[in-house]
Amino acid sequence: MIQFKAPLQDINFLINDVFDFQTHYKDIPGGEEASPEMVDAIIGEAARFSEEVLSPLYQVGDKEGCKFEDGKVTTPPGFKEAYQQYMEGGWQGMTSPVEYGGQGLPQSLGLIKSELIGTANWVWGMYPGLSQGAMNTIYLHGTEEQKQTYLVPLTEGRWTGTMCLTEPQCGTDLGQVKTKAEPNGDGSYSITGTKIFISSGEHDFTDNIVHIVLARLPGAPEGTRGISLFIVPKLKVEADGSATEANGVTCGSIEHKMGIHGSSTCVMNFDGATGYLIGPENKGLHCMFTFMNTARLGTSIQGIGAAELSYQGALPYAKERRSMRALTGKKSPDKVADALIVHPDVRRMLLTQKAIAEGGRAMLYYAAMLSDKMLAAHMEGDMKAYDAWDDKLGFLTPILKAGMTELGYEAANHGVQVFGGHGYIQEWGMEQIIRDTQIAKLYEGTTGVQALDLLGRKILLGRMKSFDAFREVVNEFIKTHKNTAEMKPMIRTLKRAMLGWRINTFRIALKAKKNRDMVGSASVDYLMYSAYIVMAYFWAKMADAAHTSIKKGENVDFCTAKIQTAEFYYDRILPRTRGHASMMMKDPETLMQMEEDHFAFL
Amino acid sequence: MIQFKAPLQDINFLINDVFDFQTHYKDIPGGEEASPEMVDAIIGEAARFSEEVLSPLYQVGDKEGCKFEDGKVTTPPGFKEAYQQYMEGGWQGMTSPVEYGGQGLPQSLGLIKSELIGTANWVWGMYPGLSQGAMNTIYLHGTEEQKQTYLVPLTEGRWTGTMCLTEPQCGTDLGQVKTKAEPNGDGSYSITGTKIFISSGEHDFTDNIVHIVLARLPGAPEGTRGISLFIVPKLKVEADGSATEANGVTCGSIEHKMGIHGSSTCVMNFDGATGYLIGPENKGLHCMFTFMNTARLGTSIQGIGAAELSYQGALPYAKERRSMRALTGKKSPDKVADALIVHPDVRRMLLTQKAIAEGGRAMLYYAAMLSDKMLAAHMEGDMKAYDAWDDKLGFLTPILKAGMTELGYEAANHGVQVFGGHGYIQEWGMEQIIRDTQIAKLYEGTTGVQALDLLGRKILLGRMKSFDAFREVVNEFIKTHKNTAEMKPMIRTLKRAMLGWRINTFRIALKAKKNRDMVGSASVDYLMYSAYIVMAYFWAKMADAAHTSIKKGENVDFCTAKIQTAEFYYDRILPRTRGHASMMMKDPETLMQMEEDHFAFL
């Protein structure tokens, strides 16, 4: 079993030395509450909860899984009790508006909380995570009455929420949604249809569950323009807020999955359930996708957490397990063999995990700051500023979501590889991380879908505006650091990478004008290529902050390791861009020329 | 569930058009038996058995797994009956010497049989696969009496075999083996110790199981030079060949693993079991590693098979499932959406699977021919020729073993990605391939161990002899095809890659002279880099054979697809070498500089 330890030094290094959250919080509503002491206390408490309560439940959740019987779902032993503690601690409403029962703290702090929870036990964290999605939707699009009725109990954690999008015939392509919503004549609707893959659709944490459901009104236009959004509670809510009567929503079964066994993945049957329209008619997809960027940031945490947790599992093993001798001669001549960590390739795997976890975390925290700004603009009603921040965040979102889940998955694989054959044995807990992380590349938009979003929508449709904005941030950093002796070599490489990124992006855009298939054919290589360059910027930024601390004589060992990890990243990960750059520029023809019937002759 | 179909056209294309097995068989003992009709009949029968008997058991094996109770292992429903058919069909002894009950057919035919079985149901195939390992060892190092006693029933399939190497404290580093062998005074030994991760260590297929066990004689030198090899049957064998009395070998438990649930992975306790020395005292590791190259070829099949099976699962789904519209406009305007296969990135994933499966198969069949030649030399007693063939095969072995298991794993991941969220659901059978294939990167030497074997032993210690020999083969092909109009572009790329490979290898060798850590630090990148170039040669060879057929008007659609897949490989996979080439040349310092205590500050 892996005992998770919160990487508090790494977190503090980012929020203090690299990004200076305190200055950032000065302009953020709720930021005044986030004093250094408050931030410390919250992170410390979330760390304790994650280490002591959630981490010990991680393997139990996998082994016991969710049980389904007679329409009821029983979560793994200990999950419910942990949720009770979470609810009582007021964690669910930490970043929610004060007027609906929340504490109004910045989104970025919420993401750090989610990171700690999600690293210790991603699967457990999915339950409150889904509630958060429902809460955001109701907050942004619900009427005041809907907020009082549903948002308050969700914020308090007394109820949980779900997002009901997928149906058997469609996941990505939500225009195919068939679930029907018939008006009841009293302002409510009768919802009928089947939704699948509904995480937290049914469980034993709370009595009531608030489903946010995509459905079609009678006579609605076909495709994505005819979909509306509804609130459908599991139990009907009375005027006094109590809820006991069933509302025609039942769980038909739960899925048998590769991993995340402790998360209930439900088939939900809506059989004339009473629902309430949320947001305008036929604008359901638009409403659903507000704050989608923030939701997808959440998913990127799964990749970052997987890298961190797998690293925390592999590192002690690499120090303890003895096998063979170092290539340069015995390191522990009195022992039967040297420790694994003397071997260069074992170090390569460990450092890859470390570079992914810490580089990803830096990207996430930067994005979290953008998310703070975006929400601030929203609360001030400045929709122009909101859109601008949303664009900036939107550019990084697919890179974080797809890039970090792919790399987190890779890191989990390295963790198993460090263990050798033992990594394949369930008791160690290493292989579970692979199985659990596999889903991160699939849900909330597969890697392929994210890549199309990045290249097709954010870059090409957005006419490179957000791309240019991000490049400007990096170029500013390059300009101010290019003559610093200790940063010079890294900055030189970064500058070259940034230049290549711009040129290659232009070339792809030109090619895409002639052949639309270029977008899809380049997309995934382009996304990974971009992710490595974005992460190179954050590693340079961390190296710079580390140099500054070392000059002040602060935290020298820790900061030396940061610089060494940055150097490793530039030497041993960033060059992967070369392969991707070459492949993404290729003509789509080699992908498109084969006739469908010629793919196999069986 | 995926119904495996044997890729007979692909197999025949390789053995007839690309490699001309019939000419090859002229020089191979047993080759005279392998007439075109015989080869056809054997492959056809193996295909039928794999499709009809083994493929339907693949998912059952995962779901039901092996059960352990009171020291007995029950294999999944149907496994035992399938083995009965296999035994009755005489499959186990297909390539074994006629004098011990086999049919004496070429090794290469045996590998094709193993490929068909291993693609349909790798897990089931592990049982006869382990027997083969034991059989090879007894054949090469056993006395005539040992052969009569053990090899004959193994060849007939009445008994099965295992290889007992790993112990709790060591897997790769077998010098740490502690199991003891005390002489009984009657020529036999008393074996005591614990072995772990013993595949097929206990099961319900056969009554007796022949364990090949590494153990130490009293006073044996420490480390690898003090290990001997023993035959230890589960049941003591009487003079008449019957076996009923237990021999102090028991199964203590079976492991809970990420995958290969249908394979019993046993803790084996040897408690004064009677064993018989096989081969010379203290030369056990040497004996164990004879024909290790052939065993590792076997493991590479798991990667190739995973790519093929996952492709066979993903392709029909990509043709049937409808999502979104093609970037270039609707392809099925009358349908609610276009099929997945219209999307360039889906095609990229499918073609990657296809290129890996078919490219890997070509590499395997070439290696199988080397294996034939090696065995032929051995049977003729020409040990110089044997060593020469072993060298040639030994160069390709780590590339095939590590390269194809890594790429097969990648292909299995693409298969799940094509399915989107559904790929994560067990019923489809796609995620099982990932879980089952994970072990292939770990057992029979991890990817890291294979990479050290390639670069450290085969390239540097072997002073590039086998590397040069392989390069010569490729350069000959380049020379004879560089002026063929249709092959010109591919040959140009291949030539450049071969030149780069040679130069980079020399540069690494020079660097390694100054710093031994260079070997370990470059190794895995070097292995993958080499694997992509080796595969590029085989793709060029296949493209050339396809062009020849097309000119003759034969098999035009099939051969066109082959050429298109080759083009895809050169455009979209081979360029990965760029990243690896850059990373492997880097100084080891960025890997070695971090102090062990600075890897984490938790």
B interface test, pick of A345, A519, A527, A586 with most B CB neighbours within 10 Å: A345
Mean pLDDT of B68-87: 98
Q: Which tens digit of pLDDT belongs to each residue from B127-181?
A: 999 999 999 999 999 999 999 999 999 999 999 999 999 999 999 999 999 999 9
Q: Do B421 and A442 touch (CB under 8 A)?
A: yes
Q: Is A593 on the interface with B (CB under 8 A)?
A: yes
- Distance, in angstroms, between A267 CA and closest chain B CA? 13
Say what the alpha-carbon torsion angle A75, A77, A82, A87 is, to the nearest 10 degrees. Answer: 40
User: How much of chain B exceeds pLDDT 70, in percent?
Assistant: 100
Q: Is B54 on the interface with A (CB under 8 A)?
A: no
Q: Is A345 on the interface with B (CB under 8 A)?
A: yes
Nearest alpha carbon to residue A455 among A532, A524, A540, A400: A524
Contacts of B175 in chain A (CB under 8 A): 337
Q: Is A239 on the interface with B (CB under 8 A)?
A: no
pLDDT at A291: 67
| In chain B, residues 485-544 whose CB comes closer than 8 Å to chain A | 515-517, 519-521, 523-524
Q: Is A151 on the interface with B (CB under 8 A)?
A: no
Compare CB distances from B448 to A259, A417, A582 and report the shortest one's residue. Answer: A417
Any idea which fold B161-283 has? Butyryl-CoA Dehydrogenase, subunit A; domain 2 (2.40.110)
Angle subtended by helix axes B517-551 and A344-379, to nearest 10: 80
Q: Do B601 and A557 touch (CB under 8 A)?
A: yes
Q: Is A442 on the interface with B (CB under 8 A)?
A: yes
Sign of the torsion formed by the C-alpha atoms of A83, A84, A90 and A92: positive
Nearest alpha carbon to residue B594 among A548, A572, A2, A408: A572
Give the whole-angstrom CA distance, residue A583 versus residue B1. 33
- Distance, in angstroms, between A323 CA and closest chain B CA? 5
Q: Is A167 on the interface with B (CB under 8 A)?
A: no
Determine the residue of chain A that is closest to B170 in CA distance: A323
Q: Which tens digit of pLDDT belongs to each residue from B53-63?
A: 999 999 999 99
pLDDT at A481: 94
Its pTM surpasses 0.95: yes
B444 tagged catalytic: yes
B interface test, pick of A258, A529, A574 with most B CB neighbours within 10 Å: A258
Position B30 confidence tier, pLDDT thresholds 50, 70, 90: confident
Q: Which tens digit of pLDDT belongs to each residue from B134-149?
A: 999 999 999 999 999 9
Determine the residue of chain B that is closest to A177 in CA distance: B336
Contacts of A354 in chain B (CB under 8 A): 599-600
Q: Give CA separation, A133 vs A199, A444, A599, B263, B577, in Å.
A: 12, 12, 41, 42, 42
Write the DSSP assignment of B42-100 as a string of letters: HHHHHHHIIIIIIGGGHHHHHHH--EEETTEEEPPTTHHHHHHHHHHTT-TTTTS-GGG
- Distance, in angstroms, between B422 CA and closest chain A CA? 9
pLDDT at B289: 82
Q: Give CA separation, A343 vs A337, B167, B439, in Å.
A: 12, 21, 21
Tokens found for residue B27: 């020089």
Any idea which fold A160-286 has? Butyryl-CoA Dehydrogenase, subunit A; domain 2 (2.40.110)
Say what the alpha-carbon torsion angle A500, A501, A506, A509 is, to the nearest 10 degrees. Answer: 140
- Distance, in angstroms, between A297 CA and closest chain B CA? 19
Low-confidence ranges of chain A (pLDDT < 50): none
Mean pLDDT of B20-47: 96
pLDDT at B293: 75
Contacts of B2 in chain A (CB under 8 A): none
Q: Where are the alpha helices (DSSP H) in A267-421?
A: 284-289, 292-320, 344-379, 383-398, 404-419
Q: Is B550 on the interface with A (CB under 8 A)?
A: no
Q: Do A312 and B602 touch (CB under 8 A)?
A: yes
Contact A314, A419 (CB under 8 A): yes
Domain map (residue ranges) of chain A = 8-146, 160-286, 291-445, 458-590
From B444, B567, B595, B596, active-site residue: B444
pLDDT at B291: 67
Contacts of B451 in chain A (CB under 8 A): 345
Give the whole-angstrom CA distance, residue A76 versus residue A70. 17
| ipTM confidence score | 0.98
Position B250 confidence tier, pLDDT thresholds 50, 70, 90: very high
Question: CATH for A291-445?
Answer: 1.20.140.10
Contact A543, A504 (CB under 8 A): no
Sign of the torsion formed by the C-alpha atoms of A296, A298, A304 and A305: negative
Q: Which CATH class is domain B8-146?
A: mainly alpha
Contacts of B566 in chain A (CB under 8 A): none
Contacts of B516 in chain A (CB under 8 A): 327-328
- Distance, in angstroms, between A50 CA and closest chain B CA? 14
Contacts of A346 in chain B (CB under 8 A): 448
DSSP state of A180: E
- Distance, in angstroms, between A175 CA and closest chain B CA? 8
Q: Which tens digit of pLDDT belongs to each residue from B554-578?
A: 999 999 999 999 999 999 999 999 9
